[in-house]
């Protein structure tokens, strides 16, 4: 292994735990066992949790540096595993290529507010809250449409709603699926993701790349990707669909969408682009 300057291992905690080498190891992940239990993971026995924590502790001890995709996860590595703060770095997830740079969300035309929702897990991503928010906006006289992507089987009660446009699951690894997905971003004015649990959603990085304001929840690693008054806002998990609608109504009436869109683009340039990630990588490694 001595011919390498560094080993970069994303996500494979078991590999990092067992590596025997003098080469510096960078371990990159988006969560820890203490954070994930009863948040993403359910039904684990106490023995299984203890064993998982032991493996994770070995990995963190064995790594020269631990990089996390959110401050939420970074704080856990320091608090729960007593890692040296100088060896822990925040590296947000990124997205972007030349084609994506040509995509930009639509400016609100004052006619119909196009609200995008994207995710594969309807319940965890808070889909019903998004529906309630858009229905509330329509009841208040702000014509709105919810563009839903990613859900393979949308609840029948949601499919039939006039304010819902269901694009279904779009495979971004296939040319046609990617084309439809990017076209949806071009049609949308913002992203609404009332997620119940989240480590580091790539869709937040996409929203930044496309200049989309984001309204989400105060949970998990969301605060690393959605900055209040910069590119969007975060509401408590207790917030109702009507409260999400309150924020969107304020954005529309105060003309905040353009400002937040500019903030999203700046977030992309500073944190969520491969260039930003590469510059940060070189700075930390060197």
Q: What pLDDT is recorded for position 183?
A: 94
> In whole angstroms, how large is the CA radius of gyration of the chain?
20
Is 22 in the same domain as 54? yes
pLDDT of 286: 82
Residues 151 and 29 in one domain: no
Does residue 185 lie within any of the structural domains?
Answer: yes
Continuous H helices in the chain: 13-18, 33-36, 46-62, 71-81, 127-139, 156-159, 175-187, 202-209, 222-225, 241-254, 256-267, 274-285
**pLDDT digit string, tens, across residues 228-246:** 999 999 999 999 999 999 9
Residue 233 lies in a domain: yes
Residue 87 has pLDDT above 90, yes or no: yes
Q: What is the pLDDT of residue 101?
A: 56
- Structural domain of residue 178, as residue ranges? 100-272
- Average pLDDT over the chain, rounded to an integer: 95
Are 104 and 83 members of one domain? no
In a domain, 228, yes or no: yes
The pLDDT value recorded for residue 95 is 87
Domain co-membership, 198 together with 108: yes
How many angstroms separate the CA atoms of 5 and 95, rounded? 26
Distance, in Å, from the CA atom of 78 to the CA atom of 88, rounded to the nearest integer, reads: 8
Q: What share of the chain in percent tops pLDDT 70?
A: 97
Q: Which residue has the tokens 């984001």?
A: 214
Task: Looking at the structure, tell me whether residues 44 and 145 fall in a common domain.
Answer: no
Query: Is 278 a domain residue?
Result: no
Mark whether 171 and 54 lie in a shared domain.
Answer: no
* Largest separation between any pair of C-alpha atoms in the chain: 66
pLDDT in tens, 171-223: 989 999 999 999 999 999 999 999 999 999 999 999 999 999 999 999 999 99
* pLDDT score of 166 more than 80: yes
Place of tokens 């509401």: 235
pLDDT grade, residue 2 (50/70/90)? low
The CA distance from 45 to 90, in Å, is 31
Q: What is the mean pLDDT of residues 15-33?
A: 96
- Domain assignment present for residue 285? The answer is no
Last residue of a domain, one of 91, 121, 139: 91
Structure confidence by residue, pLDDT tens digits, 42-82: 999 999 999 999 999 999 999 999 999 999 999 999 999 99
The contacts found for 167-172 with CB under 8 angstroms, 24 or more apart, are: 169/120
**Of 91, 110, 137, which residue is a domain's last?**
91
Could you tell me if 205 and 175 lie in one domain?
yes
Angle in degrees, CA 165, 169, 175, rounded to 5: 110
C-alpha count within 13 angstroms, C-beta hemisphere, residue 20? 0
Domain limit, last residue, from 60, 91, 122: 91
Q: Do the domain assignments include residue 57?
A: yes
In this structure, are 60 and 192 located in the same domain? no
Q: What mean pLDDT is predicted for residues 29-39?
A: 97
Listed residue (128, 157, 162, 158) closest to 143, CA to CA: 162
**Would you say residue 221 lies in a domain?**
yes
Q: Does residue 1 have a pLDDT over 70? A: no
CA distance 278 to 284: 10
Q: What digits encode the pLDDT tens for the residues 251-286?
A: 999 999 999 999 999 999 999 999 999 999 999 888
Tokens linked to 201: 């959603």
Q: CATH number of the domain that 132 lies in? A: 3.40.50.2000
65 with 86, same domain: the answer is yes
Distance CA 125, CA 198 (A): 8
* pLDDT for the residue numbered 97: 63
pLDDT band at 100 (very low <50, low <70, confident <90, very high): low
Claim to verify: residue 85 and residue 106 sit in the same structural domain? no
Unique residue bearing structure tokens 């996409």: 206
d(CA 90, CA 74): 7
pLDDT for the residue 18: 96
* Same-domain check for residues 82 and 50: yes
Could you tell me if residue 282 is inside a domain? no
Q: Tell me which of 24-38, 95-109, 150-164 is least confident.
A: 95-109
Q: Does 144 lie in the same domain as 61?
A: no
Report how many domains make up the chain: 2
Report the distance separating Cα 68 and Cα 88, nearest Å: 8
pLDDT at 99 over 60: no
């Amino acid at each position: 292994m001595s011919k390498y300057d560094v080993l970069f291992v994303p996500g494979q905690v078991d590999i990092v735990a067992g590596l025997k080498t003098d080469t510096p190891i960078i371990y990159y992940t988006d969560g820890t066992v203490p954070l994930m239990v009863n948040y993403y993971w359910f039904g684990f026995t106490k023995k299984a949790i203890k064993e998982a924590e032991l493996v994770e502790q070995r990995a963190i001890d064995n790594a020269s540096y631990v990089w996390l995709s959110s401050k939420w996860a970074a704080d856990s590595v320091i608090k729960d595993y007593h890692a040296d703060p100088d060896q822990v770095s925040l590296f947000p997830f990124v997205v972007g290529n030349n084609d994506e740079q040509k995509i930009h969300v639509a400016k609100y035309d004052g006619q119909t507010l196009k609200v995008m929702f994207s995710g594969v897990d309807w319940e965890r991503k808070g889909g019903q809250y998004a529906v309630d928010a858009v229905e509330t906006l329509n009841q208040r006289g702000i014509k709105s449409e919810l563009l839903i992507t990613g859900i393979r089987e949308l609840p029948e009660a949601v499919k039939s709603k006039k304010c819902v446009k269901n694009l279904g699951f779009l495979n971004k690894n296939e040319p046609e699926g990617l084309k439809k997905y990017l076209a949806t971003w071009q049609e949308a004015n913002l992203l609404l993701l009332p997620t119940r649990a989240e480590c580091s959603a790539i869709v937040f990085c996409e929203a930044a790349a496309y200049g989309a304001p984001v309204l989400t929840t105060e949970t998990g690693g969301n605060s690393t990707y959605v900055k209040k008054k910069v590119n969007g806002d975060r509401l408590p998990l207790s917030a109702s669909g009507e409260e999400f609608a309150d924020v969107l109504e304020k954005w529309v009436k105060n003309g905040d969408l353009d400002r937040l869109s500019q903030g999203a683009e700046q977030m992309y340039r500073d944190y969520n682009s491969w260039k930003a990630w590469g510059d940060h990588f070189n700075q930390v490694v060197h």
